[in-house]
Structure 1
Amino acid sequence: MNAVEIPFDTTRTFVEEAASVMFFARVGERTVRCYVTRSALESYFGADADHDALESSACLRAFDANARRIEAIARECLGSNGAGVRTVVLNADTVFRVLARMH
């Protein structure tokens, strides 16, 4: 599947148990759960690591400010891993590798 054909829903939420922002992609007829971890948001997207009490707010703000870049990285992962993917987790290492490939 061509990566360009993968749209994303505007719904996103912070999942405390996973310390991640969860968002959704549409791959064909399926909805794929995507997560970007707090560490990736702190390392690459400007989430403030110093305010644990406001962790969810900081992560959601960083996600919202960088949604297009984060979705492009998730799209790249979905496009390179085939149509059978059910979940994408963007941790700091994954973001680093994908950004290196994209540039």
Structure 2
Amino acid sequence: MLGEDHPDTLFTRNNLAHWKATSGDAAGAVQAYTDLLADRTRVLGEDHPSILLTRNNLAHWKTKQLSPTPRTFIPSSRLGTGKKALAITLMLFIGIGVICLVSK
């Protein structure tokens, strides 16, 4: 029987965190990846490739947790020029900032 520190067990926990995130539970995934990162670092060492993968996944899902709404980009050709383009650009940036603040 494999123990909780066995590399295969850690790999399985990574998969569980992935499926938690994919099913829409970004907060649960962030917690699972945070716990996994601590255990993988302790067991495998700071320089193991799995540590980089876990850090990447954790950063990705932390970002998704802060801004779950997909961002829509408008091609500059549709914005036009002048004051209208500036106003639309400012509204987009302000909207993205508000989404990030509300999500926290």
Report the structure, 1 or 2, having the larger helix content.
2
TM score, norm. by length of structure 1: 0.23
- Bigger Cα Rg: 2
Q: TM-score, normalised by structure 2?
A: 0.23
Higher RCO, Cα 8 Å, sep 6+: 1
